[in-house]
């Protein structure tokens, strides 16, 4: 295993352990035990626990960002792209629980700000998809794509607060499921509704 692959393996395992134990009880010793790797090897890449925690979430953001780009730049129509984005975001629910995200917000405020900034930076992705959907005749042109993408991102950023989701007993999956369905169906033109019916019948 080369150095890059070894580093990614550490981070992938780190995600699972953060989800299992939370940032508070995450230890390099436990990570090393799970990987069958020495702590010295891990510290060669990540000198402190905090560095590992930050690197884990940087890795997740990079991975999600790459998946977003792949979807946005694909040849799929805008409606398919929206649903693929929804699926990618819902997959976060299977990797990190709301309770553990709440710990990140509480114990690592600087990291939380980076996560929020990352979400805000997805605005251009949504703008491109909405604009494409309007050009393809799938989305209504009654609304400005720039404003719509801004509203979507602001809503996601304000709603993806762990304390709010826990208060109403919601998961990331629930939130994205309802929000995207309402948003997409509200954007559809007659042609778009027909296309959605075809997709749902497959």
Cβ atoms of 133 and 55 closer than 8 Å? no
Question: What is the pLDDT, as a whole number, of residue 1?
Answer: 67
Question: What is the pLDDT, as a whole number, of residue 56?
Answer: 96
Domain residue ranges of the chain, discontinuous segments joined by +: 54-200
CATH number of 54-200: 1.10.357.10
Nearest-angstrom CA–CA distance, 94 and 150: 27
Residues of the chain with pLDDT under 70: 1, 202
Summarised one tens digit per residue, pLDDT across range 170-189 is 888 888 888 888 888 899 99
Nearest-angstrom CA–CA distance, 168 and 5: 40
């Amino acid at each position: 295993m080369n150095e890059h692959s070894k580093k990614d393996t550490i981070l992938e395992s780190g995600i699972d352990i953060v989800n299992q134990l939370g940032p508070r009880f995450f230890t390099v010793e436990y990570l090393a035990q799970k990987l069958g790797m020495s702590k010295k090897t891990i510290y060669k890449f990540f000198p402190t626990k905090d560095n590992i925690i930050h690197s884990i979430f940087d890795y997740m953001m990079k991975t999600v960002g790459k998946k977003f780009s792949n979807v946005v730049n694909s040849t799929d129509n805008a409606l398919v792209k929206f649903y693929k984005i929804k699926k990618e975001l819902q997959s976060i629910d299977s990797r990190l629980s709301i309770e553990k995200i709440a710990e990140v917000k509480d114990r690592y405020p600087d990291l939380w700000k980076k996560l929020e900034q990352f979400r805000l930076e997805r605005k251009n992705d949504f703008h491109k998809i909405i604009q494409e959907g309007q050009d393809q005749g799938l989305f209504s042109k009654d609304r400005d794509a720039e404003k719509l993408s801004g509203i979507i991102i602001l809503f996601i950023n304000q709603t993806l607060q762990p304390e709010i989701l826990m208060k109403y007993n919601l998961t990331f999956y629930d939130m994205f499921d309802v929000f995207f369905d309402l948003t997409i169906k509200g954007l559809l033109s007659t042609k778009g509704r027909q296309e959605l019916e075809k997709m749902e019948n497959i």
